[in-house]
Amino acid sequence: MLTERPITPSTLGVRDLNWQIEWDKDLCTQCGRCTSVCPVNAIELGVHRKREIKTPAGLMKKAENEYSIFYGIRQKTDPAYACIGCSMCNMVCPNNAIGPKREEGSTTQKFHNDRGGNPRTRGGRRNSGESLLDQIKFMRISMLTDPALDAGRHEFRLNTLLGRVQSPEESLKTYQEQGWKPPVREIYPLVIGGMSFGAMSPNMWEGLQMGVAYLNEELNMPVRISTGEGGCPPRLLRSRFLKYVILQIASGYFGWDEIIHAIPEMKVDPCAIEIKYGQGAKPGDGGLLMWYKVNKLIAAIRGVPEGVSLPSPPTHQTQYSIEESVAKMIQSMSMAWGFRVPVYPKISASSTSLAVLNNLTRNPYAAGLAIDGEDGGTGAAYNVSMNHMGHPIASNLRDCYNALVVTGKQNELPLIAGGGIGKSGNLAANAAALIMLGASAVQVGKYVMQAGAGCLGSEKDRCNVCNIGVCPKGITSQDPRLYRRLDPEKVAERVVDFYLSFDTEIKKIIAPLGRSTSLPIGMADALGISDRAAADRLGIKYVV
């Protein structure tokens, strides 16, 4: 720092930053690992010159200046390089001499995040810790007339259906007439949501796919993973593992050339096709893959030039309206696979979710509806979108389920809910709550990154740099120097671990409720909450 540095309106001191580096001079061996690992270059090696005035006793001798030099860590105060609290410096430090500390009192940095007139874009999820799902309790515990089941001993059937299920009358008619039956997949109710090849590093993607394959083939859990927009590696498209994959098509159509061209060579059908109309964290906004991440591989798979930002438009440009989309896209995608693959749209939870749902119920080819709530994760979005836009998932899902109940189609059109599940780590409880509110399945993305690959992001604005390709763990980076940090085998192992834990925990929830032979979809009488307004809105019990 210069002694005569200019103090301008956007000059910040270290104390103004959200995260501050605490560095211990005595413990530091100056190995330099921390500065080399810092993803945002918030710290640099500094040469510190120290002047001390030595004043001898007595009056005869004059005071003297003593100069010394030492090497140490310097934290930058430029907001562009502000520490993100990822703690990678601490992870690599041999002596625990350095680490970030959150400065709770300072709010100054957020006023300077938008320098150059560009509002902040970031990855991650809504920066708030609270979650309504965490407040929901399961309280219909069986005690007397119906003894609680033993989660460890009874047989359990947790699988759910993805695809249009005909009503009993219709299905018997189809059976008798040997007519066309809409494709239905039996899947595990926890789906890995769309995180695209492009947003994710190749190692992360490989790890996830390996984990999913292991769960299916070794543990007999029909877990499915959505690709997200951005295509799918050609080798996977032509492999037998494709049946575990839900291919996503979004408004940018990235990677669809590759997929369409692979159809004749596909050994198996994909699990389903998901048409993404919106995502919870940036409702009404398109996807944004920033140029940092568009390397040669990604460019090739997506069919675009290297090193250019890839914004997908917020809507499918070839479609005029959702009605038309539902009719046309669902039909043409179904047709591409000979009506053997379920096709369903994914939308942001919004005030128009019901309108979309109403459209779908009248379309015999629609295989379900995925709804993504405001807490849904994303690779990159504007800060304002993530923090202030969107609709919470619980009430939106409930409205949709109730709309199906009114028309008697609650078994026929599965709802897949996402957005904020496991936000505080309570994956099974959140998922069970949503299932009991009416979801046939739930999808998670961020949780998979956090638990499966050690993503450092938190709901307190920690890390959140997934968008610029500097992910310190190598999860969302396309830079080989970074993604080499991530061992795909370990990711697969962790994915399997948390799926097994989820399986145990969800059994521990539904067994005491007396359920085991089918997923308790819509079993809202089991839920209670101590918030009167929420209880009324969701149609669950108010308990204090």
Partner 1 sequence: MCRLFALTSRDPISPMLAINALNTMKEGHDGSGVGLCLRGLGGRFEEELQGCPILSGIFTEAGLRRLEQYTMDHGFKSQYSILYTPETEPPEGTPVRGTYAAIAYKVPRGWKELTAAQQGQKLVEMRLELRKMGEEDGDIMVFSFWPDTIIVKEVGDPLEIGEWLQLGANRNLYARHILAQGRQNTNYAINLYACHPFFIEGVASMTNGENTAFIPIMEYMQSRNVTGYSGYQSDSEVFTHIAHYTTKRLGLDIRAYKHVITPLMDHEMADHPDREFLATLKRSCRKMIIDGPNCIIGTLDDGSMFMVQDRKKLRPGIVGGKDGIYAFSSEVCGIDAVIPDRDKSKDFQPMHLDTVIVGPDCKEIETCSQKDQLPRQL
CB of 351 to partner 1, least distance (A): 24
Please work out, in degrees rounded to the nearest 5, the angle formed at the alpha carbon of residue 442 by the alpha carbons of 526 and 220: 100
CB of 408 to partner 1, least distance (A): 3
DSSP 401: H
CB-facing half-sphere around the CA of 90: CA atoms within 13 A:
14
CB nearer partner 1, residue 144 or residue 533:
144
CB of 411 to partner 1, least distance (A): 4
CB nearer partner 1, residue 233 or residue 514:
514
CB nearer partner 1, residue 13 or residue 179:
179
CB nearer partner 1, residue 379 or residue 520:
520
CB nearer partner 1, residue 390 or residue 520:
520
SS3 call for 438: coil
Strand partners for 121: 382
CB of 156 to partner 1, least distance (A): 11
In angstroms, the CA 317 to CA 329 distance is 12
**Euclidean distance between the first and final Cα of the chain, in Å?**
56
Please state the three-class secondary structure of 54-82 as a single string: ECCCCCCCCCEEEEEEEEEEEECCCHHHC
Extract the runs of DSSP E, i.e. beta strands, from 95-158: 98-102, 121-124, 137-138
CB nearer partner 1, residue 411 or residue 424:
411
CB nearer partner 1, residue 200 or residue 529:
529
Residues lying near partner 1 in the complex (CB under 8 A) are found at 140, 142, 144-147, 149, 154-155, 157, 161, 165-172, 174-175, 181, 184, 186, 405-411, 513-518, 520-525
Match 């940036």 to its residue by tokens. Answer: 282
CB of 439 to partner 1, least distance (A): 13
The H or E element spanning position 174 is helix 168-177
**Residue 143 tokens, joined:** 């005690």
CB nearer partner 1, residue 161 or residue 237:
161
Contact 462, 86 (CB under 8 A): yes
SS3 call for 144: coil
CB nearer partner 1, residue 332 or residue 518:
518
Task: Compute the residue count for the chain.
Answer: 544
Q: What is the dihedral of CA 141, 392, 161, 354, to 10 degrees?
A: 120
Contact 281, 377 (CB under 8 A): yes
CB nearer partner 1, residue 154 or residue 296:
154
CB-facing half-sphere around the CA of 370: CA atoms within 13 A:
34
Q: Which amino acid is present at 329? A: M
In angstroms, the CA 120 to CA 517 distance is 48
CB of 523 to partner 1, least distance (A): 6
CB of 146 to partner 1, least distance (A): 4
Q: What is the dihedral of CA 56, 62, 65, 66, to 10 degrees?
A: -40
